[in-house]
Amino acid sequence: MRIVSWNVNGLRACAKKGFAEFLKTRGTDVLLLQEVRAFPEQLDSQTRSPSGWYTAFAPAERPGYSGVAIYSRRPPDSIETALGKPEFDVEGRFILARFGRMSVISVYVPKGSGRDRDNSRVPYKLDFSRAVYGRLQSLRRRGPVYIGGDFNTAHEAIDLARPKTNVRSSGFLPEERAEMSRWLDAGWVDTFRVAHPGEDGHYTWWRQFGGARENNVGWRIDYVLASPSAARRVSDAFIWPEVMGSDHCPTGVDID
């Protein structure tokens, strides 16, 4: 099984840049999307319910904002789209699909920068991450859990091209990195880093100006984390920087 996560930065825009072809050609079994930025009824039928796929959406209440989705080749046994906390659920940042004992989650962790770039949303971001963590800590006792998405945090200096100039930027603040460490210390596995230890230059997001993508001046802020029992099934973990259509690229795992 191949699980892939991708922040599409607007699914309607991505649909015009080859999303349908991506679904057909990459051998994906479960696709986790973030930043859908559309209500399902705003999507064309080929994007909303492509042939051969089952889809589920968790949009934000605010139009054109946030939103997550799961596409799968087989129907999930159940879908959950809420954490039970209204302050988070209104933003459409969490969706969970169960396939037997296995659970797969698409998550879109908020940016901490805030509208005025003053890092004012960092507390909200950390509270959201803690709420997801609490939900999944209990879930992983029931079976393997994979959580993929845009965590909006580069965990270590190796995970961004210019760490020294971003020490005060949301996405690389000490408290944000500490929250990611808390997950890993509790047994969650950064599947890509385990498969590619010590390798730099692997990023999943680039600014849309200044030739950042062409020059690979990016950040690795998209992850597939696995619970301990799920991690044992991972045979490969990858990033696909060649896939265009968004300012993020897909990342994923192959599992036995």
Residue 192: predicted pLDDT: 98
- Percent with pLDDT over 90 in the chain: 98
Does residue 150 have an active-site annotation?
A: yes
For 31-56, write each residue's pLDDT tens digit. Answer: 999 999 999 999 999 999 999 999 99
Query: Could you tell me the two tokens for 39?
Result: 């209500």
How many angstroms separate the CA atoms of 17 and 63, rounded?
A: 22
Domains and CATH numbers, the chain: 2-255 (3.60.10.10)
Helices (H) and strands (E) in the chain, counts: 8, 14
Per residue in 11-34, pLDDT tens? 999 999 999 999 999 999 999 999
Supply the pLDDT for residue 42. Answer: 98
210 vs 4: CA distance, rounded Å: 28
Per-residue burial over 27-56, b = 16 or more CB atoms within 10 Å of its CB, e = otherwise: ebbbbbbbbbbbbbeebeeebbebeebbbb
Annotated catalytic residue, options 29, 118, 127, 150:
150
pLDDT category of residue 117 using cuts at 50, 70 and 90: confident
pLDDT in tens, 167-178: 999 999 999 999
Separation of alpha carbons 182 and 171, rounded Å = 16
Adjacent-strand bridge partners of 107: 94, 149
138-164: average pLDDT:
97
pLDDT 10s digits, 199-250? 999 999 999 999 999 999 999 999 999 999 999 999 999 999 999 999 999 9
Which one-letter amino acid corresponds to residue 87? E
Q: What is the pLDDT of residue 84?
A: 95
Alpha-carbon dihedral of residues 107, 114, 239, 193, nearest 10 degrees?
Answer: -80
Q: Among 114-118, 144-148, 209-213, which stretch is predicted with the lowest mean pLDDT?
A: 114-118
Q: Residue 169 to residues 172, 174, 187: CA-CA distances in angstroms?
A: 6, 10, 27
DSSP for 158-194 reads GGBS-GGGGTTSTTS-HHHHHHHHHHHHTT-EEHHHH
